[in-house]
Amino acid sequence: MNFKLFAAVLAIAVVPISAQAATKVTKADAQRVVKMISSDKAKTKIYCDMSKIGQEIDQADQKKDTKKVDELSQKMDDMSKQLGPEYVSLMDGLQAMNADSKEAQDIGDVLDGLDKLCGK
């Protein structure tokens, strides 16, 4: 899943996770999260399943099926918690960033490493 699509899906799905202010995240934070997820087969599977759900959310959103978007978003929200607080914090921080910024693109490039584990 490309970074902009992933960020958009996360904006829909993960916003309810944290009411607290997003913390600033860095490329190093993303690298730690990628290492944490990629070294754990169960977490890698969850991440890959979330990627598939993200694509389903995008399709449902294009069809203006808000009920399906909400249902899938809740499922993604629940799954993201299984990846750990570091992942949730990274996603919260990404949502607060300008997706076109160099820093956000660098973080997206790091996260692309996880997508490669999913056979993309």
Q: Averaged over 6-11, what is the pLDDT?
A: 53
Range with the poorest average pLDDT among 2-6, 52-56, 71-75, 87-91:
2-6
Q: What is the mean pLDDT of residues 30-44?
A: 95
- Phi/psi for 18 (5° steps) reads -130, 120
Instruction: Flag whether pLDDT at 120 surpasses 90.
Output: no
Task: List C-alpha distances in Å: 26 to 42, 71, 97, 111.
Answer: 25, 31, 11, 12
* Interatomic CA distance for residues 108 and 5, integer angstroms: 11
- CA 33 – CA 87 distance, rounded (Å): 6
- Alpha-carbon span 67 to 27, nearest angstrom: 35
pTM of the model: 0.77
* Res 18 pLDDT > 50: no
- Residue 6, CB half-sphere, CA atoms under 13 Å: how many? 24
